[in-house]
Amino acid sequence: MKSFQTKILIHAPADRIWALLTDADGYPSWNPTIDKLEGRIGPSAKLKIHAKLNPKRAFPIRITEFDRNQRMVWTGGMPFGLFRGVRTFTMVPKGNAVEFAMREVFSGPLARLIEGSLPDLQPAFDEFAAALKARAEAEA
C-alpha cells in the first residue's frame, strides 16, 4: 500500500479551519494544489477534484465520513474496489492550536500496478497543509 501524509500545527480556531476545509468554492483561493472542486462538501456528498498535478482529469470522490471540526474522509477510485484512494483529514486540539493531519492510502488489487504511475504527492500534501495554516492563521 502506498500512502502520503502531512501534519502541521495551526494557531487558529477549529471552526475556522473546518470552514476552509468544507468550502469547495473557496479552495482555489487558498490551496495551490487544486484548480477547482465541483460539488458541495458535506456528509455523503460527491465531488469532482481538479488537481493541478493532473489538470486534464477530474477525480470523482465521495465523502464517506464527516465529523465536524474533527474528521473528514474522501474516498475515490475504480469500480469494485480495484483501486482505491482514501484521504483522511483529522483535527486534534492542542492547547490554543489545532494539529491538522492529512493522509491518503491507496489500496486494491490493481494498486501495485497503478502505484508505479502515481506522481510523488508528498510535496502537494505539504503545500496543502502549509496553505491551510497560512489562510487559517491570517483570518483567525
How many domains, the chain? Answer: 1
**CATH number of residue 130's parent domain:** 3.30.530.20
Residues in the chain, pLDDT under 50: none
The pLDDT tens digits for 72-102 are: 999 999 988 899 999 999 999 999 999 999 9
The whole-model pTM stands at 0.93
Strands 2-10 and 58-67: unpaired
Domain encompassing residue 106 = 2-139
Sign of CA dihedral 53, 55, 60, 62: positive
pLDDT reported for residue 128: 97
Distance CA(70)–CA(80), nearest Å, equals 29
Q: Which of 72, 132, 79 is nearest to 104 (CA)?
A: 72
Q: Are 10 and 19 within 8 A, CB to CB?
A: no
